[in-house]
Amino acid sequence: MESKFRVGQVVKYSKPNLNEENIRFYVNEIHEPCGNLKEKIHIEMICDWVIKPTFCFFSEELEPAYHTEMVEYNGKIVQSENFGRI
């Protein structure tokens, strides 16, 4: 099964709680579905902290962040491959 996420991609919560709308994460690992388990994504919070919080979520709880699809580059709107870590 092909994942809609890639390692290094920037993601956000698909249904954020109050005050979680601007939190972004890097995708560190993608675990394919196995049996009854759905696809799981290991993520790391983008922040200035020395030790970055890491989490594991099912993929339907996350979505690509707004700036990983279309960006402005030299005054033109272009398709972005990935503005996360590679």
Kindly list the averaged pLDDT for each block of 10 residues, start to end, along the chain of length 86.
Answer: 83 91 90 89 90 94 71 57 50
Which pLDDT score is estimated for 68? 44
Residue 70 pLDDT: 53
3-class DSSP string for the chain? CCCCCCCCCEEEECCCCCCCCCCCEEEEEEECCECCECCEEEEEECCCCCCCCEEEEEHHHEEECHHHCEEEECCEEEECCCCCCC
pLDDT of residue 13: 93
